[in-house]
Amino acid sequence: MKILISGLLLVLTLSSMAQQKYWVYLKDKDTTGYNPYTFFDQKAIDRRIRNNIPVYHISDVPVNQHYVSVLDSKCDSVSYASRWFNAVCLYATNEQIADISQLEFVTKIEVSGAIPTLCSYEGGEVAPYTNSVLETQVTSMQGQMFHNAGYRGDGVRVAIFDGGFPKVDELDCFKHIRDNNRIIKTYDFAKKTENVYHGSSHGTTVLSCIAGMANDSTPIGLATNAEFLLARTEIGLEPFSEEENWLAALEWADQNGADIVNSSLGYTVHRYFPFDMDGQTAFVSRAANTAASKGILVVNAAGNEGTDKDWKIIGAPADADSILSIGGVQPFTLTHINFSSYGPTADGRLKPNVCAFGQVEAHGKKKMGTHYGTSFASPLVAGFAACALQTDPEMSTWDLFQEIQHSGSLYPYYDYAHGYGIPQASYFLGVDTDTLNPEIHFKINSDSIEIEVFPLSGDAPEVHYVFVHLTDPDGKILWYKVITSYENPVMRISRDEIAEAQYLRVHYAGLTKEFKLKN
């Protein structure tokens, strides 16, 4: 039998005794004895029913253990067996993998080898925290409206994938979670144990951005009453394992009833190229799309490649179509923070979807501090999503995904830095918070189009920025800008600049206005 060994040319220069990691795909499964009602947590069953997903599906059946045993006897070691992909991850030499490729139940072999990056920017606690940012990282999403209405993520189960959660079992920041037994399960996919309270403190900070409480009982994130599954997937100095761990954690989270997954990992230059960021090529992006097909909302950091001229765009799995990808904004302007990765995807789709603070006040292993990165914007939105789901527990995950986009502060305007803006609680609560009554005017000249807005920032209670983009007939953004609004016209666009454009769209202070440039 001739088996396709994808990517094998990457390792042919190695000696025949050198080990490489592979995914070996299998032809079928043994369904004997499989019962989804005993295999899955009840919340996983409920999620499938809520999303009109079959409770019994062949992709949920575990891998045939006979096949695993045969592979184990022919390789150095088996690392993981994925039920979703019906594939086994293993270590083997070139000679061993050539032998394995001849097995009649093997359909395809891929080389494994991506290394992730935690989407924190110059990670760590870089300054004492200030209440001004702590409060606004919540109020920027109108989180206080959720809390005042009694929505704090009750009954919603959130899985967090990260590099470790040291001191979560001790810190006062999480006492309310521990006292109510809301850490449902934990697992370290690197060490194969249930203890996750070690390793990188990044996960500790991320959890605080979802559900932590500051020393004065001020909420750091929104979902203070949610339930949690904590997975350690990132292992720092050990290469080529995290992509496998990420998939394993997704399947574990699915089995244990996660409604939402927050991930702060990005996979970029260590294996992939910018043109691979199409939502279909990267292994983790395919895994993320599978999770979405199971009714899980995956919330992932957009990445911190915004200043990297050699990459700059969204990384995997944030490029996946059904994943809520989160960009970062500055706390005091609510505009793009420089390191946050830009969209679109390699195939031209809108990313990021929405955004939140890329500079946050959150709890580390020892104390509160200032932290930077889209990996902290992501959990802010994950906490928001938990509260949004609580407002309508029967809402499908796809509807939740769409409604979070529609709640964005810029919607229906969008761009490749901010997506649809910062999610707003008032949208889910049916509350109208617009009080400014802004106006946008287009003035057509022979050689240009002028944009005017009213009231100008100098005449309004607060500063508002003007967001402008031009799109082609297919909706692809040709360019976009963010400008101040102190003097009219706020922008003059020449006829040459709009030659290829179909639409001019402007967003100002909650109002979006569109001008059709061509019939």
Asked whether residue 387 carries a pLDDT value surpassing 70, the answer given is yes
Cα–Cα distance, 201 to 206 (Å, whole number): 9
Bigger pLDDT: 286 vs 113: 286
Strands (E), 84-156: 87-92, 106-111, 116-118
Check residue 318 and give its pLDDT.
Answer: 87
Angle at which helices 374-391 and 202-211 cross, to 10° = 30
Asked if 327 contacts 421 with a C-beta cutoff of 8 angstroms, the reply is no
Check residue 11 and give its pLDDT.
Answer: 40
pLDDT band for 132, please (50, 70, 90 cuts).
confident
Tell me the CATH number for domain 439-516.
2.60.40.10
Q: Which element (helix H / strand E) includes 369?
A: strand 368-372
Q: Which element (helix H / strand E) includes 21?
A: strand 20-26
Check residue 2 and give its pLDDT.
Answer: 43
From the list 464, 453, 468, 450, the residue with the least C-alpha distance to 413 is 468
Q: Which element (helix H / strand E) includes 398?
A: helix 397-406
Token pair 């994808």 is found at 6
For residue 318, CA distances in Å to 7, 171, 284, 296 come to 23, 31, 9, 15
- Amino acid present at 15: S
pLDDT in tens, 67-105: 999 999 999 999 999 999 999 999 999 999 999 999 999
Check residue 13 and give its pLDDT.
Answer: 38
Asked if 347 contacts 358 with a C-beta cutoff of 8 angstroms, the reply is no
Residues with Cβ within 8 Å of residue 418, at least 6 apart in sequence: 327, 329, 335, 336, 352, 355, 410, 467
For the chain, give the percent of residues with pLDDT over 70: 88
Counting Cα atoms < 13 Å in the Cβ hemisphere of 53 gives: 23
For the chain, give the percent of residues with pLDDT over 90: 72
Check residue 470 and give its pLDDT.
Answer: 97
Asked if 214 contacts 139 with a C-beta cutoff of 8 angstroms, the reply is no
Asked if 357 contacts 409 with a C-beta cutoff of 8 angstroms, the reply is no
pLDDT in tens, 166-212: 999 999 999 999 999 999 999 999 899 999 999 999 999 999 999 99
Bigger pLDDT: 353 vs 321: 353
Asked whether residue 116 carries a pLDDT value surpassing 60, the answer given is no
For residue 487, CA distances in Å to 178, 253, 443, 451, 455 come to 53, 52, 15, 11, 10
Average pLDDT of span 449-463: 83
Bigger pLDDT: 131 vs 284: 284
pLDDT band for 474, please (50, 70, 90 cuts).
confident
Asked whether residue 160 carries a pLDDT value surpassing 90, the answer given is yes
Question: pLDDT averaged over the chain?
Answer: 89
Asked whether residue 125 carries a pLDDT value surpassing 60, the answer given is no
Query: The pTM is what?
Result: 0.92
Asked whether residue 46 carries a pLDDT value surpassing 80, the answer given is yes
Residue ranges covered by each domain of the chain = 4-111, 116-429, 439-516
Q: Are strands 466-471 and 477-483 parallel, antiparallel or unpaired?
A: antiparallel
pLDDT in tens, 207-253: 999 999 998 789 999 999 999 999 999 765 444 457 889 999 999 99
SS3 50: helix
Check residue 519 and give its pLDDT.
Answer: 76
Burial of 70 per CB tally in 10 Å (0-12, 13-18, 19+): middle
Residues with Cβ within 8 Å of residue 446, at least 6 apart in sequence: none
pLDDT band for 129, please (50, 70, 90 cuts).
low
Among the listed ranges 146-150, 160-164, 181-185, 243-247, which one has the minimum average pLDDT value? Answer: 243-247
- Amino acid present at 490: V
Q: In the CATH hierarchy, which top-level class contains the domain 4-111?
A: alpha beta
Q: Are strands 297-301 and 324-329 parallel, antiparallel or unpaired?
A: parallel
pLDDT band for 308, please (50, 70, 90 cuts).
confident
Q: Which element (helix H / strand E) includes 185?
A: strand 183-188
Locate 336 and state its tokens: 């793009």
Asked whether residue 146 carries a pLDDT value surpassing 90, the answer given is yes
Chain CA centroid to CA 234, Å? 16
Chain CA centroid to CA 375, Å? 9
φ, ψ (nearest 5 deg) of residue 373:
140, 150
CB-based burial, 257-286: b 16+ in 10 Å, e otherwise: bbbbbbbbbbbbeebbebebbbbebbbbbb
From the list 346, 363, 314, 367, the residue with the least C-alpha distance to 476 is 346
Domain 116-429 and domain 439-516, same fold? Reply is: no
Asked whether residue 65 carries a pLDDT value surpassing 70, the answer given is yes
Under DSSP, the state recorded for 122 is S
Average pLDDT of span 383-404: 98
Cα–Cα distance, 158 to 400 (Å, whole number): 14
Q: Which CATH architecture has domain 116-429?
A: 3-Layer(aba) Sandwich (3.40)
Check residue 52 and give its pLDDT.
Answer: 97
From the list 422, 420, 431, 433, the residue with the least C-alpha distance to 151 is 431
